[in-house]
Amino acid sequence: MDAIILQILNGLDKGSAYALIALGLTLIFGTLGVVNFAHGALFMIGAFCAVTLSRVLSLSHKVEVPGETDFLGNPMMRDVPYAYEIFGESLGAGIIDWAVPLSILFAIPVMILIGVIMERGLIKHFYKRPHADQILVTFGLAIVLQEIIKYFYGANPIPTPAPSAFVGSFDFGALVGFDPGTIIYPYWRLVYFAFAAVIIGAVFAFLQFTTFGMVVRAGMADRETVGLLGINIDKRFTIMFGLAAAVAGLAGVMYTPINSPNYHMGMDFLVLSFVVVVVGGMGSLPGAVLAGFLLGILESFASMREVIAIIPGINQVIIYLVAIIILLTRPRGLMGRKGVMED
Amino acid sequence: MSKGNLTRRGVLKTGAVAGAGLALPTYLSAQESGFTNAPTGSTVTLGFNVPQSGPYADEGADELRAYELAVEHLNGEGDGGMLQTFSSKALQGNGILGKKVEFVTGDTQTKSDAARASAKSMIEKDGAIMITGGSSSGVAVAVQALCQEAGIIFMAGLTHANDTTGKDKRANGFRHFFNSYMSGAALAPILAAQYGADRKAYHLTADYNWGYTTEEAVRSSTEALGWETVGTVLTPLTQTDFSSYITPVLQSDADVLVLNHYGGNMVNSLTNAVQFGLRERQVNGKQFEIVVPLYSELMARGAGSNIAGILGSQNWDWKLENQLGAKYTGTNAFVKSFGEKYGFPPSQAAHTCYVQTLLYADAVERAGSFQPCAVVEALEGFEFDGLGSGPTLYRAEDHQCFKDVVVVRGKENPENEFDLVEIVEVTPVEQVTYAPDHPQFAGGALGSCNNGA
C-alpha cells in the first residue's frame, strides 16, 4: 500500500511538469493552430532564468584569504557576493538562498517577451503553411535556442538548489499512520505539485472568467467569425502565445531544484509532452492536464521493480503503449474535440 | 533542341581516369612507406576526436585542453609538463621523430556513428597518423574498430567499460584509463572497511554496455566480501527524473544504493536520491549509504553539495602527489602546466588524454618509426613511471594499463568547484590486476596489428 501511495505521489509531481508543458502546447495549438516544437526550449529557458538570477544575485568579487594558498601556490582568493555588502550578510545570504522562487518574478516578463518575439518574429509567418513546415521551423528554433544556451552556460548541468527551508523530505507515512520512513517525499516536489495546481487553476480561471479569456475561447472555436465581429483576435492570440511561454517558463523555473538544469532538458520533456497532448486530445486544455497526470502516474508504476520483473522493459515503453491503446479506442484522445486537426 | 556531349560511358570513363589519377599519389606514398598516412613532410598530424557538442561537451573541452598542452610540450614549448618527470627520456621536445606535431580535431557528439565519421574524415582527409579521445565506451569501441581496419593507432580517451580492452579489444587500440572491473576491485575492500561486510545493496544501472559491466564488477567484488545484492534495476539512458526508481529503494530493506550511472544520469539520480532523504536514512540499524562507482569530477559539479560523503573511484586526481607523495610524481608538473595555462586544475579525463598522447609519441620515438605495428610493439609490455599514476604497465595481452586506482569521497564542504572530492585511499595495482582471460573480459581477441595502406 505504501509503495502505491509513493508511486502516486511520484506520478503527481512528474505529471505536474508534463501537464504544465502540455497545457502551454495545447494553448498555442488551440489558439494559433501551430504545432510548436520549440515549447520544450521555452521550458528550458525558464529554468535558465532561475540559473541566471541565481548567478546575478551571487555576483561576487575576490577577497584574498590571508595565510592560505591555492593549488598553484598563489594567494587564495575567496568569492564574496556583492549582495552581502548591499543587504548585509544574513539578508544577502537569504536572498541568494531564495533565488529560485524569486526567479518567478524575473521569469514572467522575460518569458512573455520571448514568447511574443518568437510569435511575431517567426511563427506568424508559418500560420498558413502545412503543419509539417511548422514542426520543422519550430524544431529548428528549439535547436538554435538550446545551442545559444549551451554557448553561454556550457553543457554540464548547473546545480540550482531549493531554498534551504525546503531541502529535505516530509514523512508522509507517519502522518497517515504508516511506519515512519516508509512514505517520505521531498518538500520541494510537494511545492512543485502545489505550484502546478495553482498555475493550471489560474490559466483556466483566466480563460473562463475574464472577458479576454472569453474572446480567446470564442476565437479558438471560430476564429473567422470573431474576426468579422471586429475583434483583433490576432493580437489576443499573440498574447496567449506569450502566456503559454510564461507557463512553460515557470514550469522550468520551479523544476530547477528537482534536477540540475542543462541545455537539452527541454528536448527531454518535449516528446513526452506531445504524447500527453495527443493522448489528452488535440486542443483540449482539460485533456492535456488529465493526460499529464495520468501518464506521469503510469510511468511511475511501470518503473517499479515488481512490474519490471513481470514485463521487462515496460518502464521504457509504457507511455507510448498507453498512447497507442488510447488512440486506438478513442482516436481523438481522452477529451479531444471533433474537427480539430481532422481537416 | 540541343544535345549535350555527355554520355553515360563518357562520364564513367572520365571518372575512372580522374579517380585513378587522384588516388595515385596516395597509393604511391602508401606503398612507399607501407602504412597508412605515413608522414612525409616536416610535420605529423594527430587526430583528437572528442565530444565538442552534446551532453559531454564540457568534458570534451577539457580533453582538448590537455591535448593542446601535450602538443605544446612535444614541440618543446611551455614548461614541458610531464616530459620532465616521465621515466622514458626518448622525447626531446623537438616534435615526434623530429617532425613538428600538428593536430586536427573531430566532434564525436558522444555518438558512435558521428565519432566514426569524424575519425574517418581525420584519417582520410587530414592524414592523421593516430586518433585519440572520446568520453564514452560506445564511442571508444566504435572508433577503435575503425582504426584497426584503417591501420591507425587508437589511443582511447575516457572509456571505462570492460569491453574496450575485453571482448572488443583490438591490436591497434590502447587504453590508459582504468575500467569497471578495477573500480569494483578497488572499491569493494574500502566499502567493506567503511560500511561493514554485512550490507544489502540495491543497484540502479544505466541500460547500456558500460552500466552492465560496472554493475557486474561492483556486484561480484562486493558479494565476494559478504555483501548481499537485494535488487538491480536497469534505468533508461534517457531518464532524467529518477524518483520512481528511487522510491522502491525505500520499500526494500537495502541499506546501500549503488548508482551505476555516469554523467547527466549520475547527477540526476544522485540528486534525486539525496532529495528522498536516503543520506539521512537508517535501515537495519545502519546508516544508509550511496556509492557512485565511477566519479566524473566535471559532472559532479552538476550535483553540487549532493556528492558530500559519497564514495567512488577515479583514474587519477590532481591532488595525488601533494597528498600521497613522490610515488605519484608527474601529477604536480601536469597540474602546474595545465593550471597556469587555463587557470584551474585538470580533470581525470584531461590527464588520461595528455598521458596517452605522450605515450604514443614516446613509443614512436623508441620504435624509430610511425609504423603502427612498430608502435604496438613499443607499447606492449611497456613499463613506465612519472606520469602521475605511479609505476604503470601497458599489458601486452589486452593493451590495458595497470596502475593504482584512487578511491575518493565527495567533500562535505568543498572550497571551490574544482575541489569536490577528497582522496580516501589508493588501491594498489596488485589488487586491481586480473588475468587476461578473466570472465568479465572474455570473448574477442586482440588479433594482429594492422599497418593499413
* Cα distance between residue A285 and residue A200, in whole Å: 10
User: With bands split at pLDDT 50, 70 and 90, how would you rate the model's confidence at A339?
Assistant: low
| Contact status, residue B443 vs residue B168, Cβ threshold 8 Å | no
Q: Is the pLDDT of residue A105 over 50?
A: yes
A20 within some domain:
yes
CB hemisphere CA count around A263 (13 angstroms) = 21
A69 within some domain:
no
Give chain A positions within 8 Å (CB) of B299.
Answer: 156-157
A267 within some domain:
yes
Please tell me which residue of chain B has the smallest CA distance to A71. Answer: B345
Of A159, A182, A315, the CB nearest to B303: A159
pLDDT tens-digit profile of B374-401? 999 999 999 999 999 999 999 999 999 9
Please tell me which residue of chain A has the smallest CA distance to B270. Answer: A259
Strand ranges inside B246-301, DSSP E: 256-260, 282-283, 286-287, 289-294
What percent of chain B is predicted at pLDDT more than 90? Answer: 76
| Contact status, residue A39 vs residue A24, Cβ threshold 8 Å | yes
Q: What is the pLDDT of residue B48?
A: 97
Q: What is the pLDDT of residue B14?
A: 59
Please indicate whether, in this complex, the C-beta atoms of B56 and A155 are within 8 angstroms of each other. yes
A105 within some domain:
yes
A138 within some domain:
yes
A150 to chain B, closest Cα gap in Å: 9
- The whole domain housing A199 covers 2-55+100-329
The grid cell for B339 is: 593550471
Q: Which of B63, B136, B251 to mutate to test the interface with A (most CBs of A within 10 A)?
A: B251
A227 to chain B, closest Cα gap in Å: 44
| Contact status, residue A72 vs residue A167, Cβ threshold 8 Å | no
Please tell me which residue of chain B has the smallest CA distance to A259. Answer: B268
A27-46 mean pLDDT? 90
CATH topology of domain B181-314: Rossmann fold (3.40.50)
The lowest-confidence range among A221-225, B268-272, B314-318 is A221-225
Average pLDDT across chain A, whole number: 89
Element (H, E) at B169: none
| Contact status, residue B417 vs residue B410, Cβ threshold 8 Å | no
- Sign of the CA dihedral running B281, B415, A81, B56: negative
| Contact status, residue B149 vs residue B119, Cβ threshold 8 Å | no
Q: Give me the helix-helix angle, B372-379 and B348-367, nearest 10°.
A: 110
For chains A and B, CB pairs below 8 A equal 125
Class of domain B43-178+320-399 as given by CATH: alpha beta
**Model-level pTM?**
0.86
The grid cell for A286 is: 482539460
DSSP state letter for A237: H
Q: Is the pLDDT of residue A338 over 80?
A: no
Average pLDDT across chain B, whole number: 91
User: With bands split at pLDDT 50, 70 and 90, how would you rate the model's confidence at A179?
Assistant: confident
* Cα distance between residue A244 and residue A255, in whole Å: 17
Q: Is the pLDDT of residue B23 over 60?
A: no
Element (H, E) at B155: strand B153-156
DSSP state letter for A209: H
User: With bands split at pLDDT 50, 70 and 90, how would you rate the model's confidence at B24?
Assistant: very low
* Cα distance between residue B236 and residue B265, in whole Å: 9
B236 to chain A, closest Cα gap in Å: 7
Q: Does A304 touch chain B (CB under 8 A)?
A: yes
Q: Does A184 touch chain B (CB under 8 A)?
A: yes
* Cα distance between residue A141 and residue A135, in whole Å: 10
Q: Is the pLDDT of residue B27 over 60?
A: no
pLDDT tens-digit profile of B337-358? 999 999 999 999 999 999 999 9
Q: Is the pLDDT of residue B18 over 60?
A: no
Please indicate whether, in this complex, the C-beta atoms of B244 and A300 are within 8 angstroms of each other. yes
More confident residue, B300 or B447: B447
Strand partners, B405: B427
The lowest-confidence range among A154-163, B171-180, B199-208, B389-398 is A154-163
Q: Is the pLDDT of residue A340 over 70?
A: no
Give chain B positions within 8 Å (CB) of A156.
Answer: 58, 298-299, 301-302
User: With bands split at pLDDT 50, 70 and 90, how would you rate the model's confidence at B331?
Assistant: very high
Of A13, A265, A308, the CB nearest to B233: A308
Q: Does A181 touch chain B (CB under 8 A)?
A: yes
Judged on CB neighbours under 10 Å (0-12, 13-18, 19+), A286 is middle
* Cα distance between residue A15 and residue B21, in whole Å: 63
Phi, then psi, of B104 in degrees rounded to 5: -125, 155
Chain centre to alpha carbon of residue B150: 21
Any idea what the CATH number is for the domain that residue A279 is in? Answer: 1.10.3470
What residue spans define the domains of chain B? 43-178+320-399, 181-314
pLDDT tens-digit profile of A200-247? 999 999 999 999 999 988 888 888 888 899 888 888 889 999 999 999
What percent of chain A is predicted at pLDDT more than 90? Answer: 49
Closest by CA position to B129, among listed B114, B147, B117, B149: B147
Q: What is the pLDDT of residue B28?
A: 39
The grid cell for A69 is: 594558498
User: With bands split at pLDDT 50, 70 and 90, how would you rate the model's confidence at A273?
Assistant: confident
A247 to chain B, closest Cα gap in Å: 20
Phi, then psi, of B124 in degrees rounded to 5: -80, -40
* Cα distance between residue B109 and residue B139, in whole Å: 9
Q: Does A192 touch chain B (CB under 8 A)?
A: no
Q: Is the pLDDT of residue B21 over 80?
A: no
Q: Is the pLDDT of residue A280 over 50?
A: yes
Please indicate whether, in this complex, the C-beta atoms of A300 and B339 are within 8 angstroms of each other. no
Collapsed DSSP state (helix, strand, coil) of residue B208: coil
Of A182, A185, A303, the CB nearest to B244: A303
B46-74 mean pLDDT? 93
A79 within some domain:
no
Give chain B positions within 8 Å (CB) of A168.
Answer: 277, 280
pLDDT tens-digit profile of A165-176? 998 888 877 777
Give chain A positions within 8 Å (CB) of B333.
Answer: none
Closest by CA position to B170, among listed B148, B155, B137: B148
**What single-letter amino acid sits at B324?**
L
Q: What is the pLDDT of residue B13?
A: 63
DSSP state letter for A91: H
Q: What is the pLDDT of residue A342?
A: 59
Q: Give me the helix-helix angle, B243-251 and A2-32, nearest 10°.
A: 170
pLDDT tens-digit profile of B141-190? 999 999 999 999 999 999 999 999 999 999 999 999 999 999 999 999 99
pLDDT tens-digit profile of B97-149? 999 999 999 999 889 999 999 999 999 999 999 999 998 899 999 999 999 99
Count of the separate structural domains present in chain A? 1
Same fold, B43-178+320-399 and B181-314: yes
A81 within some domain:
no
A45 within some domain:
yes
Please indicate whether, in this complex, the C-beta atoms of B271 and A304 are within 8 angstroms of each other. no
Please indicate whether, in this complex, the C-beta atoms of A157 and B268 are within 8 angstroms of each other. yes
Element (H, E) at B107: strand B100-107
Please indicate whether, in this complex, the C-beta atoms of B340 and A72 are within 8 angstroms of each other. yes
Please indicate whether, in this complex, the C-beta atoms of A72 and B58 are within 8 angstroms of each other. no
Closest by CA position to B264, among listed A247, A240, A156: A156
The grid cell for B353 is: 588524454
- The residue whose grid cell reads 569530477 is B297
Q: Does A55 touch chain B (CB under 8 A)?
A: no
Q: Does A331 touch chain B (CB under 8 A)?
A: no
Closest by CA position to B178, among listed B205, B191, B156, B159: B159
pLDDT tens-digit profile of A283-320? 788 999 999 999 999 988 888 888 888 888 888 889 89
Q: Is the pLDDT of residue B3 over 70?
A: no
How many C-beta neighbours within 10 Å does residue A70 have?
Answer: 17
How many C-beta neighbours within 10 Å does residue A171 have?
Answer: 16
Q: For chain A, how far is it from start to end, CA to CA, in angstroms?
A: 47
Going from the C-alpha of B125 to that of each of B26, B67, B175, B409, B433, the distances in angstroms are 11, 20, 25, 45, 40
